[in-house]
Amino acid sequence: MGIQITPSILNADLAALGAEVSRIGSADWVHVDVMDNHFVPNLTLGLPVVESLARHTAIPLDAHLMIEDPDRWAPAYAEAGCGSVTFHAEAAKAPVRLAREIRAQGARASMALKPATPVEPYEALLPELDMLLVMTVEPGFGGQKFLDLCLPKIRAARALMRKHGVETWLQVDGGVSLETIERCAEAGADVFVAGSAVYSADDPDAMVRELRAKAETAAASA
């Protein structure tokens, strides 16, 4: 797989989700941020909205669960039709079992790390994951400033994946824009979430294409 762009609908018009998703036809995935007001200090949407959105778009859904107790809730998002389900390492009690359950439901299993969570303790888990998400802001809100301090972790994660010979995708989420995407691609990320950058653009789909072009050029020269 090459570079993939996954716009986050967090900053879209949430009262018109079906229409908002039809404005990003070039996207590889639609990133859906699920927040429970416990794991993060914000509350967004849950399973009923995700089920409904899955019926409104042919673009696969990439669910990012910023919730407590993902061991209990995450498999239901796979069952609801999400193509990828991401739980947080800081919240999961049994990440290996959970990743296997998500895969058993037919979805890609992914695990996220907050900015202060190192990747090294999870090295042995990489073969169990289809994607690792390195957060580049503290999770909870769109429109935050990109944290450059996360770049070494992206490089470290990519190096561990090479060491293990796994094809795990490496996603970044938070503050990704035309200004920051090249740094992430050079460090080894290949899946890019962009929320405000896409939905504050006059033409969100053109922004998806611009982001992709920048990341492709940066990855090729890395």
CB of 64 to Zn ion, least distance (A): 4
Report DSSP state, residue 46.
Answer: -
Contact 99, 129 (CB under 8 A): yes
Report DSSP state, residue 112.
Answer: E
Q: Which of residues 155-194 bind ligand DX5 (CB under 6 A)?
A: 173-176, 193-194
Stretch that binds ligand DX5, among 94-102, 120-128, 140-148, 182-190 (CB under 6 A): 140-148
82 binds, among Zn ion, ligand DX5, none (CB under 5 to 8 A by kind): none
33 is catalytic: yes
Which of 33, 36, 62, 190 is catalytic? The answer is 33
Which of 80, 109, 119, 137: binder of ligand DX5 (CB under 6 A)?
137
Which is nearest to 105 in space by CA: 69, 128, 80? 80
Q: Which of residues 69-128 bind ligand DX5 (CB under 6 A)?
A: none
Which is nearest to 110 in space by CA: 98, 121, 119, 120? 98
Beta strands in 36-82 (DSSP E): 61-66
What does the binding site for Zn ion look like in residue numbers (CB under 5 A)? 33, 64, 173
